[in-house]
Amino acid sequence: MRPSRIVRWCRVGMAALCGLVGASALAAEHITLAVWGSPPAEARALDLTIAAFTRSTGIVVKKETIADKYMDVLRSRFAARKTPDVFYLDSSEAPMLIRSGVLEAFDGRHTDVPDVPDLPDFYPHFIDAFRGDDRRIYGLPKDYSTLALYVNTRLLAAAGFKPGQVPTEFNALMAFCRVLQARLPKGKAAMIFEKDLARHLSAVESFGTPVITPQGDASLAANPAALAYLEAFVQARQGGYVVSPKDDLGADSPAAAFGAEKTVMMMEGNWVLSALRKDYADVPFVTREMPRVNGRPQTMAFVVGLAVSRHARNKAGAFKFAQFMTQRATATATATATVNIAADTTDWARLSGTLPTRVSVLAALNLAADPALAAHITGAGYATVWSRGIGLPIVNTNFGNQFLAALNGSKSVLEAMQRAEKASNRELERQR
């Protein structure tokens, strides 16, 4: 064989070998990330963080957005053992997946995965939402939202009141809404509210009775004081001074109703801030902590974590990504990754309306200096996390259905909660 032909064969062989090695390296250095659908601005904030992670580690992230029935899709993939490596996990859904044994723990089980660094830097109740009965951690909380009271200062002033006159206690606030309504033009409401348990759990449990007992049973009708709290909304809706944004005002969302100035007040999460600042920038408002119930401060926290599947193809990469998304901020750190994540966390908080779960990141970004966020951040310290074991989705559904019946006047609050409790316990028994 002539030398030139030998050289050509060698070049071809080397190219093929390099191609195989390159393909193998590429396959080893990527992870799959599953997320739910989000607004364009929030999606871009995530893309910025993913790009920073790839620059820092060399690991490519293949993002998959599940636009509809997120948890149903994930469950079907777990059943088929074709799961993403790492994925978003809501705190309310975590207990079921943890009990099913399909998640990996962030606790050094693998030699290349260290314990969660700087664990005390997380809000402890946010971490606890992703603990199993074995006390191991099966998800890292990446961001959260809390509820606060939003007040349109222009509408309030037109009615003759100042923000400082808005009561901070629930019963007084409801009485104030009745007085305020009488001074508002037709078509405007004193306050709007949502019916689902996710908005009321912290208030209902402020009276000392958990909605799900330690034995796992629903308990919705046992506490008269909690029923009286719910009855206040029924009476207020019938009186027309605390109403549903969709059913009574025809708005697509609470933010839309507030932005269109159809209501003076709303109890909402900080996810509305992006829309208020972008789409309704001319609407003046302030935020306050949620009203105290039974003399206690209360609000809800909705925590999103990152979890790693036991069937992940690249577990080490998945753990790295989760830890990168939730890393601690340090004043002395100069690593590129730390700088990038700080910048991306700022984008995430501003664009998505969510807040970082590490205290150090909140402090480094000085987010509490934002007047609109201050009430949300203060509330995080005492918030009730939207998580109550594997039975919460069932109880939530039945509560919502029956509370709506009470709000519409077809049942008393007591009868509605008795039916919700009975239906929930029947389903929970079948689940055991």
Q: Which of 252, 267, 297 is the last residue of a domain?
A: 297
For 37-75, write each residue's pLDDT tens digit: 987 777 887 898 899 899 999 999 999 999 999 999 999
Whether residues 352 and 322 fall in one domain: yes
125 and 94 within one domain:
yes
Q: Which tens digits make up the pLDDT trace of 203-235?
A: 999 999 999 999 999 999 999 999 999 999 999
Q: Please indicate, yes or no, if residue 246 is contained in any of the structural domains.
A: yes
Q: Could you tell me the pLDDT band of residue 325, with boundaries at 50, 70 and 90? A: confident
Do 77 and 172 lie in a common domain?
Answer: no
How large is the greatest C-alpha to C-alpha distance in the chain, in angstroms?
A: 101
User: Is residue 245 assigned to a domain?
Assistant: yes
pLDDT at 40 (0 to 100): 75
- Residue 33 forms beta bridges with which residues? 63, 86
- Answer yes or no: do 189 and 241 share one domain: yes
Q: In this structure, are 34 and 110 located in the same domain?
A: yes
Containing domain of residue 83, as a range?
29-144+301-385
Residue 395 lies in a domain: no
pLDDT at 275 exceeding the cut of 80? yes
279 domain residue, yes or no: yes
Whether 191 and 85 map to the same domain: the answer is no
Q: What is the pTM of this model?
A: 0.88
Judgement on whether residues 321 and 289 belong to the same structural domain of the protein: no
CATH code, 82: 3.40.190.10
Using the predicted structure, report yes or no on whether residue 6 has a pLDDT greater than 60.
no
**Residue that is last in its domain, among 367, 385, 403:** 385
The pLDDT score that the predictor gives to residue 205 is: 98
381 in the same domain as 290: no
Q: In the structure, what pLDDT confidence band is assigned to residue 245 with cuts at 50, 70 and 90? A: very high
Model pLDDT for residues 166-193, shown as the tens digit of each residue: 999 999 999 999 999 999 999 999 999 9
Residue 153 sits in the same domain as residue 60:
no
Q: How many domains does the chain have?
A: 2
What are 16-39's pLDDT values in tens digits? 444 444 444 445 489 999 999 987
36 and 131 belong to one structural domain = yes
Res. 118 pLDDT band, cuts 50 70 90:
confident
Q: Report the relative pairing of strands 285-288 and 355-356 from DSSP bridges.
A: unpaired
Same domain flag for 265 and 308: no
User: What is the per-residue pLDDT for 57?
Assistant: 93
Band of the pLDDT at 7, cuts 50, 70, 90? very low
- Residue 194 counted as domain residue: yes
The answer, yes or no, to whether residue 146 has pLDDT greater than 80, is yes
CA dihedral for 270, 273, 276, 279, sign (positive or negative) = negative
Same domain? For 220 and 319 the reply is no
In this predicted structure, the answer to whether residue 284 has a pLDDT above a threshold of 80 is: yes
Q: Which of 297, 317, 336 is the last residue of a domain?
A: 297
Residue 57 lies in a domain: yes
Whether residue 394 lies inside any domain: the answer is no
- Residue 397 inside a domain? The answer is no
